[in-house]
Structure 1
Amino acid sequence: MFRYFLIVFLSLTLWACGSDEGAEIAPSGTAYWNNSSSVAAQKGNAAIRMEGTAGTQWQAEITEGSEWCSFSLSSKIATKEGTLVEGMNVLYVYYSDNINDAQRQATVTVSFAGGKQTVLTLSQKGQVNSPEFSTSWAEIPAYKEGTNFQYVTHYVNLNGKEVRNYSMCYDKSHKGALWVAYPLHSCYIGGLDRTDEWIYDPDIAEEYQIFVAKAYKEYPAYDRGHQIPSADRTMTREMNAQTFYFSNQTPQTGKGLNQSIWMNLEDKLRKSYMCSDTLYVVTGAYYGNASKQATDNNGVKVDVPTHYFKVLLRTKSGVSGKWVNQCDASQLQTIGFWLENKAYSESQPSKAICKKVSEIEQLTGFTFFPGIPQEVKNDFNAIEWNLN
């Protein structure tokens, strides 16, 4: 009889522990880089944002790279602990100059009461970083020398691997990117909301960037127009945060362009053109004989682009399982879009705003998709791109 009651008691106890009603919520937490897991060779700091149940205890340790990273600006501290509070919890990692040519990495392990642990990797670039991208990436235009050009690639951590987010050719004289190149694939698309936290690009000197934490003085005439859209990078917060660097925006006509035909074109790329084989995109700003200027939050004037463009490359089938540089001309397709920086009466992209990629090469002076046959760039089939 005693054994019977013991079994019943244990069964009821286990059932109660599995019930949501009246159960105590275990403390929990999560940690992630606030903006980027990749930093420049110069000394600085990176912020780790921690979120979770208020009152949860946490511990952080620099498990690799403690000789050049610290939790203190003035001394070497490799461990730190605390308790989560309501609102924002930020832990700063300070790093020294990397005087070597090679990139280096540090690892920070953040542990929360209850057993949850997050391992974060910080990559610091070396001195040899020009240009800062791999020419084997299909989306990268041919390198072009320019006195005011700076080439930058931003990386993110995705499923434990460092992957490229996007690359750009930044023109310090215009304080804007001439092109931003990136792969578009479902692995970059998730369900996160946009951060909307505009900040300086950490890889470009602030003196060469325009400060627009708030709208341009001329708003609503000009929006802070993204080149790589926020909506193209929603898998992780780090991905999305990097699209809100000042370097990734220019003064773009709002109503009739950024909020209309341009936005719908970006949406079409995600919904109709993105494919399993990857869609390769280069978005750019063209200044031509720019005569208009916009004003940033500090009263600094910046040139307004006269035109914007997008050039696209993908396999025709979208599911070939091949890299584009493994394909012959018959398996590939390209198209270009060329728009004035003005309000358009039509809201949907059509053949009227299309150009051959080779035509946009002639207009801009850049060579796009240099690894594919030239004949692919010399024509486009509007029907294949679902355009009238």
Structure 2
Amino acid sequence: MNSASSKAIFGLTALTGASFVGWVAGVQYSLRTRNLHPAKRDDRLVVSENVRSMPGLPLFGTVSAASPILPSNGDVPEMGSKFSTVTASRISQIMKYGFPGHDTIRSYEDFVLSYDRRNRVAHWVFEHFNKEMLRSNENAVDRSKCEFKPDESIHPYFRSQNTDYKGSGYDRGHLAAAGNHKRHQTHVQQTFLLSNMAPQVGPGFNRNSWNRLEKYVRRLADAYKEVYVCTGPLYLPKIESDGKKYVRYEVIGSNHVAVPTHFYKIVVCETHRSELEMEAFVMPNVPIDDATPLQNFRVPPDTVERAAGLLFFDNISRDKLTRINGKKLK
């Protein structure tokens, strides 16, 4: 390992401690042991071993851009019309009075999100833009007129409110960045809905390093034909003094809005030759030295998928990607 890589590894280790580096190291260790000893697989996300002996950051891995496992016809099992009819009838009977929840997707004019009603923060937010879309319509758009507002499309039980953030010490941090949606006033205003917000540390994070990451992603539109971005929160485990793993996070306000421990951005860029490249970033929700290179926060996309419980860009086969985190695959 060269000295530059060592500095990057230990720089990020100092920033995130066992919480993040331990998580990544655990995943990498799990993947290695699973490949070497299938009978002794270890699915831990955090390990108690010395994280400095494990792979550090930046790390390069594979992206688990997979589709759900379905029968060959992509539909329900082929077991006869009688079975299907009986099954449908039984499901209808069981769920006669409604499903507890399947209403999580919200489509706005210029972005889409999946809302976590328990934590009052989105699971993920998806954006798409190119160079032309990022051109500001200065005659029609005025960000100063935007106001943070509760999202009335969310059931009142599950909405976050401005009062939850007041006095909390946290910023209302955009997931879909306002700077990505400057073509129409409605577009930028919708990014100020609280369903698009998460509690973020202000100085050193939301106003600094996270903002640097947002600007970096926007600049990708200068070099690529199309840019697709998925952003969201993570709640990562940490090994504590008793040697056990815990997921601990603060909640704020009367609605108990969750404060994520980390945030991720997964980016897919389409070149002018229709090639696809991917980058994945995870940042701890803490003050970060502005001198820390963004490349220090690159992680293997599959580790984010495992931690978030999500498959990102699952319509893209892995063999369609030409680069991951800047590393050429073909």
TM-score normalised over the length of structure 1: 0.51
Q: Name the structure 2 match of 1:226.
A: 174
Residue among 280, 292, 310 paired with 2:249: 292
For residues 211 and 234 of structure 1, the distance between their equivalents in structure 2, rounded to whole angstroms, comes to 25
- How many percent of aligned residue pairs carry the same amino acid? 23
Task: Report the residue type matching 2:133 in the other structure.
Answer: C
Structure 1 window deviating more from structure 2 (240-249 vs 187-196): it is: 187-196
CA RMSD of aligned residues (A): 2.9
Task: Report the residue type matching 1:301 in the other structure.
Answer: H
Shift, 1:189, TM fit: 3.6
Pick closer, same or farther for the CA change 1:214–1:359 going to 2, 3 Å: closer
Residue among 262, 287, 299 paired with 1:307: 262
Pick closer, same or farther for the CA change 1:267–1:141 going to 2, 3 Å: farther
Alignment pair present for 1:208 and 2:152: no
Q: Name the structure 2 match of 1:193.
A: 142
Could you list the per-position Cα deviations for residues 136-164 of structure 1 after superposition, in whole angstroms to 9, with x for gaps in the alignment? xxxx9979x99576111112xxxxxxxxx
What aligned pairs does 1:234-313 form with structure 2 within 5 A after superposition?
234-273=182-221, 277-289=225-237, 290-296=247-253, 299-313=254-268
Shift, 1:272, TM fit: 3.4
For residues 250 and 279 of structure 1, the distance between their equivalents in structure 2, rounded to whole angstroms, comes to 23
Consecutive unaligned residues in structure 1, runs of 5 or more? 1-139, 156-164, 321-326
| SS, match of residue 260 in structure 1 | helix
Q: Which has the higher strand share?
A: 1
Could you list the per-position Cα deviations for residues 221-271 of structure 1 after superposition, in whole angstroms to 9, with x for gaps in the alignment? x11000001111111100001001010001111111111111011011112
Could you say which structure has the greater relative contact order, defined with CA pairs below 8 angstroms and 6 or more residues apart? Answer: 2
Shift, 1:301, TM fit: 2.5
Structure 1 window deviating more from structure 2 (339-348 vs 359-368): it is: 339-348
The aligned length equals 220
Q: Which has the larger radius of gyration?
A: 1
Pick closer, same or farther for the CA change 1:311–1:230 going to 2, 3 Å: same
TM-score normalised over the length of structure 2: 0.60
For residues 119 and 177 of structure 2, the distance between their equivalents in structure 1, rounded to whole angstroms, comes to 20
For residues 342 and 142 of structure 1, the distance between their equivalents in structure 2, rounded to whole angstroms, comes to 34
Pick closer, same or farther for the CA change 1:203–1:379 going to 2, 3 Å: same
Shift, 1:276, TM fit: 5.6
Aligned residues of 1:197 and 1:213 also touching (Cα < 8 A): no
Shift, 1:211, TM fit: 0.3
Pick closer, same or farther for the CA change 1:148–1:305 going to 2, 3 Å: farther
Task: Report the residue type matching 1:265 in the other structure.
Answer: L
Residue among 104, 110, 124 paired with 1:150: 104
Runs of 4+ in 1 over 6 A off after TM superposition: 140-143
For residues 156 and 168 of structure 2, the distance between their equivalents in structure 1, rounded to whole angstroms, comes to 22
Shift, 1:348, TM fit: 5.2
Alignment pair present for 1:369 and 2:313: yes
Q: Name the structure 1 match of 2:302.
A: 358
Aligned residues of 1:264 and 1:348 also touching (Cα < 8 A): no
| SS, match of residue 306 in structure 2 | helix
For residues 146 and 308 of structure 1, the distance between their equivalents in structure 2, rounded to whole angstroms, comes to 28
Q: Name the structure 1 match of 2:272.
A: 319
Residue among 122, 126, 130 paired with 1:181: 126
Consecutive unaligned residues in structure 2, runs of 5 or more? 1-64, 69-98, 238-246
